[in-house]
Amino acid sequence: MYPACRTFSQRVSTLSLILLSLAVTSLVQAEKPAPGLELFENKIRPALIEHCYECHSAATTDIKGGLRVDSREAIRSGGESGAAVVPHQTGQSLLLDALQHESFEMPPGKKLPDEVIADFVMWVELGAPDSRDQPPSVDEAALLSWKAIFEKRRHWWSLQPLQKVTPPIVTNNDWSERPVDRFLLDKLQQSHLQPAKTASPRTLIRRLSFVLTGLPPTPEEVEAFVSAAKQDRQAAYERLVDRLLASPHYGERFARHWMDVVRYTDTYGYEWDNPAKGSWEYRDYLIRSFNQDVGYDQLVREQIAGDLLPKPRINRQSGFQESLIGPMFYHMGEHRHGDSINFNGIHQEMVNNKIDAFSKAFLASTVACARCHDHKLDAISQRDYYAMAAVFMTPRWTSRVIDAPGKQDVLIGQLLKLRNEIQQELKQVWSQQAEQFTSELATALDPSAEDYRTRIWREALGLTTEKEQKSVKLKAGDIAWPANQLLKLSTPAEIKTNWEQLQVAWRTASETHRRQNKERFKVLTDFSKPGFPEGWQVEGDGIRFGYVTEGTPLVSLEGEQLIQQLLPRGYHTHALSSKLPGAIRPPSERKLPGKMVSLNVAGGEWSGFLRTPDNAFQTENVIFFDRSEPAWQTFADRPLVNGIQRMMFEIATSDLNPDFPPRTGKTRAGGKLLPAEDFGFDKRSWFSVTEIVSHDQPGTPADEQAQFSTLYDQTVPDNQTEASQRIAIWLTGSVKRWCQDQPKAGDVTLINWLLKNRLLDNHADVGSRLKQLVTEYRLIEAQIQFAHTANSMDERGLTEVSYPLNIRGNVDDPGKLISPDFLEVFAGRHQVPQSPGSGRLELAEYLVSPEHPLTARVYVNRVWQWVFGEGLVRTPNDFGHLGEQPTHPELLDYLAQEFMADGWSTRRLVRRLVLTQAFQQSGTVSELSKDIDADNHLWHHYPTRRLEAEAIRDSLLTVSGSLDRRLYGRPIEVPRSKPDPAKRLFDGPLDGAGRRSIYLRMSIMDPPRFLVGFNLPDLKLPTGKRDVTNVPNQALILMNDPFVISQAEEWSKRLITDSSETVEQRLQQMFLTAYGRHPETSEVKRWTALIEELGGTREQSGLLQNPEVWRHVAHAMFNTKEFIYYR
């Protein structure tokens, strides 16, 4: 693929050739340099390139004012206002007026330095010598202009290597010797400021509890800490920090922070808002990762290239292959329906979403701004954007099984053993039954015979009598057709003639089909041995354990039948259990042999065939199977229109279909419509594939009718009795050969016909060995767990995709193809090894290398913001020119270096920050601090912070006693006043089943209204810092929302059963629960007066037992600022 430095050197070489050619041209034209030519080459030309070419050269199609300055003739001819440069005539050279901003303004907005303008004046006075005889081409001008701009921008502070910084020595430091505090105190003293005093223990535990867990402390926790702090404040505080960091709710808290950054959603938005498969698995993955303190470097690797790690992270305790979940990061956000075959721009919009999220999350850079042109402010070219697009479009965006390998191998091993034992038992039963076929068939020809076996033989062969009144419609090719045609005849001549006619017809058709199949189709595999053609990828235990030899029984999982059928040779995902997932992924179509490939497949229960152009997996080009017998499915080369680079195909069970469930109201399998309530959870699904062929012409292989070969290989019968014997020998032989493990082609078809027509026993008596085995099989199969799957990446068997650079971002105007690469600004600093694929793994390793200037800086800044409310850089998603610069750059670099030295441990970093005196400051602000640093850039106090939306809701549940503290699980539906089943917007429980807000379904179309009211971010966009508004709607929510009122009622129910003997005692407990403190005397008086007014009495016992009074009191406490803020 790349190294980036290789590409960079190629770019430099191109630029060098351009400059060299221009220089050679000028030397040829003039042996003696004209006066001032050296000034032009050294000062004037570079200034024109850097400041003017972007708007006034061949690099742009929109020439401002009609003026070009990229050649001698052009600059002297000028534009709409006249000549820009007149040699020796400074007063007539309009360029000089524009540079001095006297008439026009060049460049617009910002005037060039006076010394640069003086150079231009001198140059004109010297005759404006100019060696540029010919204007540059479009590409040359663009490259010249960009390189000059780029060279200046690449020196921006955030792009420079991390500096090794020593904490400053601070004089008069009686505050703290911790390095972080010394950095802060040094800046404070330079501004003649002092930090605030230390906060009270009650303030600290409430602050720390919300910062680390997002939940308020319990009254017991508050009192215990206050008591311990009296003995040894620092030791008590450190113990509190360590306890909260060890809390499982710590992982929930920090996972939710990161979910903002990666635009976490449970749906894909747009009109149908389809579920995002495995989104909640990614959320749980984050919670586990933060609780286990997985290094951030590992999380970066996993989210960018978790499917490519040579040693993936397996969590045996939870049973997950964690690394494979990481790339779900790419799948978050909004995805349009359809694909670019019909509507150009869909896959381009999707990849733009990925680039935007990636660059902001890991680099705090706005790479997506370079989609249409070079970035207007930062060192990011349009080429960089499309190089990143190629990186992300190379892998297949699909679903992966995220269970730990071998998770169910013990149970599967038991099923394999039981299936084999069932097969052995069936052999004994069926071999005995098959011995009776000759006599049974002879009896069936006797009109007077009326026993059960006789009747089912007649029904099967279409030989029922008028008395039995049950006829079967048969056609040529049916199993029963030869017997039906022969055994209706009575004379030897008729039987002989008919046999010969049937025999000739079969041989002619069979030989013709065999010849045509051989001529027109190339067999890629007939599965005579396990495995798929080279380059084909597979997924899931349904494939891993799905290969069967000819005639393997498919055990029936319910009902009286022992087996469903005998399976033909091939892969069957349900061979052991239809719970097991499976997917087959051929190479991209243009790497397949022949123009077409056909598979003989069967399937059901929403397995399907997917055709996905350029990873637009919401394409709706899915054929859902509803057939129990294999039939041919063809996929063929299609014209790659609208910038599509590649068409991908796969066959998958529903749990490995990345777009299952798709939109409601349209999706069908046969005559079945997918119910709107189906979210694809715990769903049985299966498919089979028994042969794969390639071909160049339309059509599919013809049936060679192998099942009749052993019938027509026999001699011609002379009479009806012999004909009956030939039929019986034919059918008996298929059973015998199967029992001897030597079935011929077509035997399984015959046996399945016998089973279907009840001619072979498929039931067993209670207590029999066969019945016991099948019962045990079913019990074991019931223990098989449904697979955990999530949308991820699969790059196996794929090579890099080059992505077209869309001219001015226009998807209908694709330019040259760009290979996968990283940002040019980092080229040459670090050797990114060459890769045959996307290079995501190499990219991830580079991002977490010590040489990278952004990764650690960006993340450390985020964590600082999560702890302190604002970052050292207050634009956490933009470290570029539009963002703010760090208030404490040395501290930022120091923390980044320490963070990496600590193994990229988030927990250690958080601990380092919350143990600082800066974090333990009170929120008191001195008048001097207000005057000098009103925005607290110097951290002279800890800011008062409003709880995030989730923390407000979780606090309501906690205080009311309704919180369910369980971790993990599927999304919980939220209450909706207007459910819309067509869009899977269902009404959920008012309290969200008591679960924390992180577990509520995050629907792009209809996110939780309560959370939106308190600034839940736009789920479609990566959010580095949430808005914090204070609007009337929030007060109305706390006053009127049914959820808030219900939690006041829940708290009231709990309060009237507590041990309080007086109103004051209960108020004391309520204040501790809601605010983490005791009420002031004046507050007790005010609240008591309110309670007595509400209850209409002063009698204590009556007031204490009045639930309506305490509901109002609880509701009033929820509506205070103190409830939703912490200091």
Q: For the segment 95-125, what is each residue's pLDDT rounded down to a tens digit?
A: 999 899 887 888 887 889 999 999 999 999 9
| CB neighbour class for 1031 (10 Å; exposed up to 12, middle 13-18, buried from 19) | exposed
Does the structure show a pLDDT above 80 at 45? yes
Cβ atoms < 10 Å from Cβ of 1055: 23
User: Which of 99-103, 114-118, 438-442, 549-553 is most confident?
Assistant: 549-553
754 phi, psi to nearest 5 deg = -60, -40
Q: Which residues contact 733 (CB under 8 A, 6 or more apart)?
A: 710, 747
Domain ranges in the chain are 33-153, 277-403+788-852, 435-519+716-756, 522-700
Contact 945, 1014 (CB under 8 A): no
User: Over the range 881-919, which residues count as b (16 or more CB within 10 Å of their CB) and which as e?
Assistant: eebeebbbbbbbbbbbbbbbeeebbbbbbbbbbbbbbbb
CA 497 centroid distance within chain? 67
Q: Note the residue count of the chain.
A: 1127
Q: Beta strand 522-525 with 668-669: parallel, antiparallel or unpaired?
A: unpaired
- Nearest alpha carbon to residue 1021 among 104, 75, 357, 316: 357
**Where does the pLDDT of residue 831 fall: very low under 50, low under 70, confident under 90, or very high at 90 and above?**
very low
Sequence letter at residue 79:
G
Q: In this predicted model, what pLDDT tens digit does every residue of 1104-1122 receive, in sequence order?
A: 999 999 999 999 999 999 9
Does the structure show a pLDDT above 50 at 15? no
- Nearest alpha carbon to residue 210 among 1037, 948, 1051: 948
Cα-based distances in Å from 576 to 412, 544, 783: 8, 11, 12
Does the structure show a pLDDT above 50 at 333? yes
**Where does the pLDDT of residue 901 fall: very low under 50, low under 70, confident under 90, or very high at 90 and above?**
very high
Does the structure show a pLDDT above 50 at 586? yes
User: What is the C-alpha separation between 484 and 475, in angstroms, rounded?
Assistant: 10
Q: In this predicted model, what pLDDT tens digit does every residue of 1066-1077 receive, in sequence order?
A: 999 999 999 999
Q: Dig out the tokens for 1022 from the structure.
A: 């990566």
Does the structure show a pLDDT above 70 at 663? yes
Q: Dig out the tokens for 718 from the structure.
A: 């002379």
Question: Is 321 strand, coil or helix?
Answer: strand
DSSP 719-776: SHHHHHHHHHHHHHHHHHHHHTT-PPTTHHHHHHHHHHTTSS-----TTSHHHHHHHH
DSSP 259-301: HHHTT--SB--TTT--B-TTHHHHHHHHHHHHHTT--HHHHHH
| CB neighbour class for 940 (10 Å; exposed up to 12, middle 13-18, buried from 19) | buried
Among 388-397, 422-431, 639-648, 981-990, whose mean pLDDT is lowest?
639-648
Q: Can you give the pTM of this predicted structure?
A: 0.90
pLDDT of residue 736: 97
User: Over the range 349-385, which residues count as b (16 or more CB within 10 Å of their CB) and which as e?
Assistant: ebbbbbbbbbbbbbbbbbbbbbbebbbeebbbbbbbb
Question: Average model confidence (pLDDT) for the chain?
Answer: 91
**Across 216-220, average pLDDT:** 97
Does the structure show a pLDDT above 50 at 16? no
User: What is the C-alpha separation between 991 and 975, in angstroms, rounded?
Assistant: 8
Q: Dig out the tokens for 473 from the structure.
A: 């419609």
Position with higher pLDDT, 807 vs 364: 364
Does the structure show a pLDDT above 60 at 26? no
**Where does the pLDDT of residue 962 fall: very low under 50, low under 70, confident under 90, or very high at 90 and above?**
very high
**Where does the pLDDT of residue 468 fall: very low under 50, low under 70, confident under 90, or very high at 90 and above?**
low
Q: Is the dihedral of CA 290, 855, 860, 1012 positive or negative?
A: negative
User: What is the C-alpha separation between 813 and 805, in angstroms, rounded?
Assistant: 9
Q: Which residues contact 980 (CB under 8 A, 6 or more apart)?
A: 1006
| CB neighbour class for 345 (10 Å; exposed up to 12, middle 13-18, buried from 19) | middle
Position with higher pLDDT, 590 vs 970: 970
Q: In this predicted model, what pLDDT tens digit does every residue of 669-696 receive, in sequence order?
A: 888 888 888 888 999 999 999 999 999 9
Among 222-236, 602-616, 989-1003, 1007-1021, whose mean pLDDT is lowest?
602-616
Contact 576, 415 (CB under 8 A): yes
Q: What's 980's DSSP letter?
A: B
Can you tell me which residue has the tokens 């001819």?
Answer: 77
pLDDT of residue 447: 84
Helices (H) and strands (E) in the chain, counts: 42, 23
User: What is the C-alpha separation between 717 and 726, in angstroms, rounded?
Assistant: 7
Does the structure show a pLDDT above 60 at 1? no
Does the structure show a pLDDT above 80 at 145? no
**Where does the pLDDT of residue 829 fall: very low under 50, low under 70, confident under 90, or very high at 90 and above?**
low
Proportion of the chain above pLDDT 70, given as a percent: 95
Does the structure show a pLDDT above 70 at 22? no
Among 272-276, 889-893, 958-962, whose mean pLDDT is lowest?
272-276
- Nearest alpha carbon to residue 303 among 799, 821, 848, 908: 848
User: What is the C-alpha separation between 173 and 465, in angstroms, rounded?
Assistant: 110
**Across 393-414, average pLDDT:** 96
Does the structure show a pLDDT above 50 at 29? no
| CB neighbour class for 150 (10 Å; exposed up to 12, middle 13-18, buried from 19) | buried
Among 729-743, 747-761, 809-823, whose mean pLDDT is lowest?
809-823
Q: Where are the beta strands (DSSP E) in 402-463?
A: none
- Nearest alpha carbon to residue 359 among 852, 808, 871, 878: 878
pLDDT of residue 589: 66
**Where does the pLDDT of residue 34 fall: very low under 50, low under 70, confident under 90, or very high at 90 and above?**
low
Q: Dig out the tokens for 757 from the structure.
A: 């027509």
Q: In this predicted model, what pLDDT tens digit does every residue of 478-530 receive, in sequence order?
A: 888 988 888 888 899 999 999 999 999 999 999 999 999 999 999 999 999 99
Q: Which CATH architecture has domain 522-700?
A: Sandwich (2.60)
Q: In this predicted model, what pLDDT tens digit does every residue of 158-172 receive, in sequence order?
A: 999 999 999 999 998
Does the structure show a pLDDT above 80 at 4? no
Contact 788, 403 (CB under 8 A): yes
**Across 625-642, average pLDDT:** 86
Is the link from the previous residue into 107 a cis peptide, with omega within 30 of 0? yes
pLDDT of residue 142: 72
Q: Dig out the tokens for 656 from the structure.
A: 């490995």
User: What is the C-alpha separation between 730 and 751, in angstroms, rounded?
Assistant: 11
pLDDT of residue 469: 54
Proportion of the chain above pLDDT 90, given as a percent: 74
- Nearest alpha carbon to residue 52 among 126, 1, 120, 103: 120
